[in-house]
Each structure stands twice: as structure tokens, then as C-alpha cells.
Amino acid sequence: MLNFFRQRSGSFKSDILSGLTVALALVPEAIAFAFVAGVSPLVGLYSAFFIGLLTAILGGRPGMISGATGAMAVVIGGAASLVAIHGPEYLFPTVILCGILQIVIGVARLGKLIRMVPHSVMLGFVNGLAIVIGLAQIGSFKTLSSEGALVFLQGPALYWMLGLVGLTMLIIWLLPKFTQAVPASLAAILVVTMISVGVNQSFKTENNRGNTLATVGDMLATNSKDVEIQKLKGVDAHGHTAKASGSAESGYASLSPEEQKAAVAAIVDSESKAGIAGGLPMLYFLNPEYQVPLNLETLWIILPFAVVLCGVGLIESLMTLSLIDEITETRGQGNRECIGQGIANVVCGLFGGMGGCAMIGQSLINVNSGGRGRLSGITAAVCLLMFVLFLSPWIEQIPMAALVGVMFMVVIGTFEWASLKMFRRMPLADNLVMIFVAAYTVLMHDLASAVILGVIISSLVFAWKHATHIGADIKHNKYGSKIYQLHGPLFFASVSSFKDLFEVSDDPDDVVIDFYYTRVYDQSGIEAINLLSEKYHAGGKRLHLTHLSPECRTLLKRAGDLVEINLSEDPQYHVATDRLA
């Protein structure tokens, strides 16, 4: 299904138009993630600007979009998160430290470790991600009831919402068949926005009532009021009782049921002041509200959260990089991406941002719209800032139905439908890993942990399968020496099988172990060779080891005279170098 995105080729015009499309889709995402993190919506928007702009310029994957993400927002704003425990003033130095750690990882050239992710993990990650993106759109079908609860749309509002979502998807699907002069996603957003504005104006004029079709502005107001209601009840954004708001909780609990309803109704009926309008961002340390002491105590507070943010951000970014590589059939630079993400987070933290990383959904929108170069990411970031500074009233009129339709098309294009056909042909272990990663991604909404656990499980399965794959062809030469020609890998899991291959007491005085068709992978293998050497030496027999790789020869120096290396026949081992990263 990834071929759905390959049909578009990059150009100057495509990059600009796709960047504009992405900017429109970034607005509600950045706002939503800011609420999750427990910070102002403007913090999320400014974060998306800084992260998106700097990674587009300095990152290792042209065409990839970065910004404020849900994965990092959960770490920042969860029940036991940094903001909840220590307050927002500790957030910004944490983001700066996170960026420094990412730069160090990039300079150390550790971005190449993404090559260790198996294809089954990648399939599970992509499929799970598609489901998560789809489920995330359900919130757009909810509104705030008079009782202060989020409830699903009903009646005409639901029908209009479904109809415009379907129309958006239809335009995105059909328009490329006629012309590719304008990105289909952008055209769909513009058409559906004009319809939405007309419908909402009609209902307001005839019935003097609010919007029938929810817009970005409505979504922002709903989220803002919901947060106020939860604070009134002493509950955080994740449904947990907020420890820091005990007084508020006790005050609400002391009210009578009628007074509680009246307090909630007052918030629901109030005119929300939430919006995306704002001025230029400023350095956070110039704001007296966000001053924290720069000492070791502060460092120990922020270090654990910075390490988690660093890991989550890089894993999600490098996985996105691999996915865009596959779609565009080009190769990004993982180490450069680490450095670019790090610099972006340092600057973002300095200007009071919540940090961020690569955004898979927006990256796929960009690729689908024809964005292939760095200009697309730069355009998206600059347009986002322009929205905040000058165009906020217009952007707030975009219907959520249009953005939901765009994201549903991303879901269809992201899900690897071929994996369903391959299910019967794939090994059972790979199927189980794919299902596990997808399920963990959907249930826990933790992409980084899903990938890490998938790699661990795949590694254990690989080790188990290859533990018994080591064997030996036994022959004798004209001098009476017994030759063991090994086949298969020698590592911690195959050490036991390796030891069982030899009959020390029955072997002649001269024994040769030929490593031409095998490789020693770890210290367990080296130690097994040394123990075997000691056994032959104790029995008064001589052991020769030939065709060892240079790494093994270095590690086996302590075997002394027991090691005999045939340099003229030793093969040259070619390994991947850092130049690829």
C-alpha cells in the first residue's frame, strides 16, 4: 500500500503546496498535544514551528516533518510526569538537556542502530500506527454536553460531519486521476472549508445557534473548557486525581449536586478565550515565572525525564526516517537526523517550547502531497508561524471534518495491507512479533517501547533458532591431524552445541578447528574456544585455530602458543561502515 505515496514526484511548487497542506494539519495536532502536556496551546504551536523549521534545514531526511508529538507530550504531561510533579518551569531546561543528549548520540554515530529493527517489527509498527492515527480521530466526533461531559455528535451535526469526511476522502482519491497541479489534500481542505463556512453561516442566520460543523476554533474551545472542568473537579487530563489540586477537589466535593452542575454549566456556557493568535516567542529565562535554580539538584530532577524524552524522540524519528526512505526509495542520514533533532530541541527549549520529534502522520501527508525536499518542511513551519501571527481567525474556521478526512486517507495509505496477504507465508515467529508490536502500539500508545520490545523479542527468537545451527564437517589430513570445519555462528546461545562437537579424549594429538565458514560473535564464543584449548592442552594435545577473523585473533592473544593463524588463507571481512549512516 506504500505505493500509494510513490506516485508523486517532488518539485519546487509541490514542496510549497504540500508544506501549506501540512501546516493546516499541524495546527489541531499541536494544540491537542499541548493540552496533553499540560501547557498552553501557543507552547505547542511554537514548538511545532521551531522543531519543524530546524529539522527541515539541519535534519537527515528531506521531506520528513517534525513537530510537537503525542509520544513526547505523554512523558511531559502524564499522571507522574515532569509538569505534574515539578511544574512547567522545569520543562524547558529538560527539553534543552534532551536536545544535548540527542546531539551527543548523533556525534557518536549511533543513529545507524536503527538498522537493527527487523522487518516484522517495522510492519507491526506501521500497522499499529495506522490504527492509532485512525482511533485518534474519534475525538473529533465528540462535543461538550451541557453537563460538561464529552459526548458523541448526534443528529444533523453527525450527518454533516460524516458527509464532509467522506467528501474530503473522495476528493483526495479522485483529484490525482485528473490533475496533480494542486495537492489533493489541500484542495479537499479548501473545498470542504467553503462548504462548512456556508453551512455554519446558514444555521447561525436561520436558527441563531452555534456551529453545526465543528471547526478548529470549536475544537480549541472544547478542549479548553474540558480542561477547566477537570481542574474544577480535581482531575488531570488523563482522568487521574491531581495531587496538586486537593483544595480544588475538596471545594468541588463540598458543593451540593445543584451547585456542582451550576459551576460546570457556567464553564460550558462561557465564551472561550482560547485561540491560536499570539506574538513572537521569547526566551523562557526572561520570564520570571519560569526561573529555576541551575544546580545539581535541578539536574537530577530533569535528567531522568530528559533521557526518556531523548529516547522516545529519536526512536520515533528514526523509525519515521526508515518509513519515508522506503516510500521515496531514497536513503536518509540517521546520524545527521539525531543532530538536527537535538539542535531543534535545544532551541525549542530556550524559547519555552515542549520539544518534539518526527511526526509520522504529517510526514505521510507531505509525501502524499508531493513534498520531497527540505523546502516542504520549511514552508510548513513558516506557514504555521504566519497562522499564529496573522491568520488565526481564518485557520480557526477550518472544519475538523476536512482534517479528519485527510488523516483517514493517511491511515489507508499507512497500513501495510500486503502484510495481511503475507500472513500465511511469513514464519510464525515473525507473525507473532508483528501482532505484538501492533497491539502494544494500539493499546499503550507508546511507539518507542513497542519498537524496543519488538527488537528484543525478535533478537531472542533469532538467538533461539540459531543456537543449534552450529555444526562441523570432520576429516583427517595426510599428516593424521583431525580437522573440524565449523559451520554456523558461534555466540552465547550456541556455545553448548559447540562444546558437544568435540571428543577431546578420543581425538589425535594434533587437532585443527577451521573457522572459514563460521564467525565468532561475542565474548561467550571466545571463552568457549579458550576453555576448549585448555582441555586439549591438559590432555597433552595441540590445537590449531585457522581462518579466524581479525577481531577474534585480537581477543584470542591470551591463548598464546595454542593459536596458529594462517594469514595467507584468512578471508577479509567487510562490514558496514559509519559512512552509510
Cell numbers for 512, please give them. Answer: 585443527
Q: What is the pLDDT of residue 568?
A: 35
Intra-chain end-to-end CA distance of the chain, in Å: 27
Cα separations in angstroms, 125 against 114, 128, 415, 458, 462: 13, 5, 10, 14, 19
- Spatial neighbors of 554 by CB under 8 A, at least 6 apart, are none
pLDDT means per 10 residues, the chain with 581 residues, are 52 89 86 76 90 95 89 67 76 93 93 81 85 84 86 90 95 86 85 91 59 82 84 64 47 80 85 76 78 86 88 87 86 92 95 90 87 93 92 88 87 84 86 92 79 90 83 87 90 89 90 86 82 87 82 63 44 41 45
Per-residue pLDDT, 235: 66
The domain ranges of the chain are: 3-414, 471-580
Query: Residue 565 has what pLDDT?
Result: 44
Which triple of cell numbers denotes residue 183? Answer: 495537492
Amino acid at 36: V
Strand pairing of 471-476 and 357-358? unpaired
Encode pLDDT of 389-434 as tens digits.
988 888 888 899 998 898 888 788 778 888 888 888 888 899 999 9
Q: With 0.85 as the threshold, say if the pTM is over it.
A: no
- Please compute Rg for the chain using Cα positions: 29
Instruction: Look at residue 567 in the predicted model and tell me its pLDDT.
Output: 39
For 206, the grid coordinates are: 436561520
Query: 471-580 falls under which CATH superfamily?
Result: STAS domain (3.30.750.24)
Long-range contacts of 525-531 (CB under 8 A, 24+ apart): 525/490, 525/491, 525/492, 525/494, 525/495, 525/498, 526/552, 526/555, 526/556, 527/495, 528/490, 528/495, 528/498, 528/499, 529/490, 529/556, 529/559, 530/556, 530/558, 530/559, 531/499
Q: What is the identity of the amino acid at 345?
A: N
